[in-house]
Amino acid sequence: MEMEKTASAPVEIDLDGKRVLLVGTAHVSRESAETVERTISENSPDAVCVELDAGRLEALRQPDRWRSLDLRAVIRRRQLPTLIANLILASYQRRLGMGTKTLPGTELLAAVESAERNGVRVELVDREIRVTLKRVWRLTGLWKKAKLLAALCGALFEKEQMDEEKLRELQDRETLGAMLDEMGEELPQLKQVLIDERDLVLAERIRACEGKVVVAVVGAGHVPGICRILREPARPVDDALAVPPPSFAGKAAGWAVPLGIVLAVALTARLDPQAAEEGAVVWILATSSLCALGGLVSLAHPFAILSGILAAPITTLSPLLGAGYVTGLVQLFFAPPAVSDLEALPDEIGEPKRWWRNRALKVFLVFLLTSLGAAAGNLVGTAAIVRKFVGAL
């Protein structure tokens, strides 16, 4: 198995007589798109493997898909946090691409369209994005989750733009290696799910792709791992494609806290009914008022704020439904976004001031701030109930 040493040129790999041309790209580079088209044109492959799943390909082909976004369905399915994370990442990539005047994923779409023009079979070889995001969240510990959320929030304010020269530097093997090593040290679970597992899935699907000549178009960060895996015997990918169930500890903690609160109030009531009543009142006032405060800060619709006041004391006792989902749905009902609000989502999500003006982003803001308020009230109320229980002993 031989390969060239330059990072920008396609890497050629011999797999038992099958010639694989591995093209490492930058997702906001016009040069990468040109390299992809040239590689396909010059080598007449039997198949083109692309680092996409069906959903991401559809998103690239329908850039105006946001106008048909059904926010009610997203909220009912409790997928709003996933949507917000996706939008933040997409907005970050779009800002990076401003320097090259290239939309994110242009080179991947160019690979698909070039293959289709030439009558070449297209293979979508990446793992479904939904599976990747769920694996990131469920395999990451609490502290690492906090760091990941902080990184997402930081991406909202990141204004850096890339030109082709910077992108070429980032595609250098030594630079990529150093960046991946740093990610492995800071967020090992994140690197495992986003890079290592996908390296395995991409490599094995490329290996399984039929044809004597195959062009594979992947992000440059995946090239070293794919090359290494293709040198080794084939490995199963079933584990990397599975969505891990919520951990037993997480489920237990989700129910243990509310059950512990109810039990503490019940025991306090047997010892000192007045103390139990006072603790319960503090609980209700803390969760309701701080949830309402989140609604006020987000300039939510009055009925959304009222729904938060009523829902917070109840939803904070259940791990199945948060106050933010209730307030988000009410906000959406009384102040639905216009088509122009939905169309502007990928651009305006990176502008904090727009969260108060764009009606779709306002739904996100109401969801986030009322959820935080209810969670803070939960902590305050729990502390009060514990104090009353201890004092009654």
Q: What are the pLDDT digits (tens) for 30-45?
A: 788 889 999 999 999 9
Q: What is the pLDDT of residue 261?
A: 85
Higher pLDDT, 81 or 282: 282
Q: What is the pLDDT of residue 156?
A: 61
Q: Predicted confidence band at 200 (pLDDT cuts at 50, 70, 90)?
A: very high
CA 132 to CA 53: how far, in whole Å? 11
Q: What is the pLDDT of residue 225?
A: 92
DSSP state of 176: H
Sequential DSSP letters for 191-245:
HIIIIIHHHHHHHHHHHH--SSEEEEEEEGGGHHHHHHHHHSPP---HHHHS-PP
Q: What is the pLDDT of residue 96?
A: 52
For the chain, state the CA radius of gyration.
25
CA 301 to chain centre: 28
Cα distances (Å, whole numbers) of residue 59 to 74, 86, 283? 17, 12, 45
Q: Tell me the β-bridge partners of 13.
A: 20
State the chain's mean pLDDT as an integer: 82
Residue range 131-146, pLDDT digits in tens: 888 888 777 766 666 6
Q: Tell me the β-bridge partners of 22.
A: 11, 216
Average pLDDT for 164-169: 49
**Two tokens, residue 102:** 């290239």
Q: What is the pLDDT of residue 295?
A: 96
CA 295 to CA 166: how far, in whole Å? 42
Higher pLDDT, 318 or 117: 117
Residue 352's nearest CA partner among 173, 129, 91, 110 is: 91
Res 334 pLDDT > 70: yes
HSE, CB side, 13 Å, CA atoms: give it for residue 138: 15
Higher pLDDT, 238 or 247: 238
Res 205 pLDDT > 90: yes
Among 93-102, 152-161, 356-365, which stretch is predicted with the lowest mean pLDDT?
Answer: 93-102
Average pLDDT for 349-363: 88
Q: Predicted confidence band at 173 (pLDDT cuts at 50, 70, 90)?
A: very low
Q: What is the pLDDT of residue 145?
A: 64
Residue 332's nearest CA partner among 302, 368, 373, 304 is: 304
Res 169 pLDDT > 70: no
Q: Predicted confidence band at 3 (pLDDT cuts at 50, 70, 90)?
A: very low
Q: What is the pLDDT of residue 158?
A: 60
Q: What is the pLDDT of residue 1?
A: 43
Q: What is the pLDDT of residue 20?
A: 94
Res 23 pLDDT > 80: yes
Cα distances (Å, whole numbers) of residue 150 to 154, 212, 352? 6, 46, 15
Sequential DSSP letters for 258-327:
HHHHHHHHHHHHHH-HHHHHHHHHHHHHHHHHHHHHHHHHTT--HHHHHHHHHHHHHHTT-TT--HHHHH
Cα distances (Å, whole numbers) of residue 188 to 13, 71, 152? 29, 33, 17
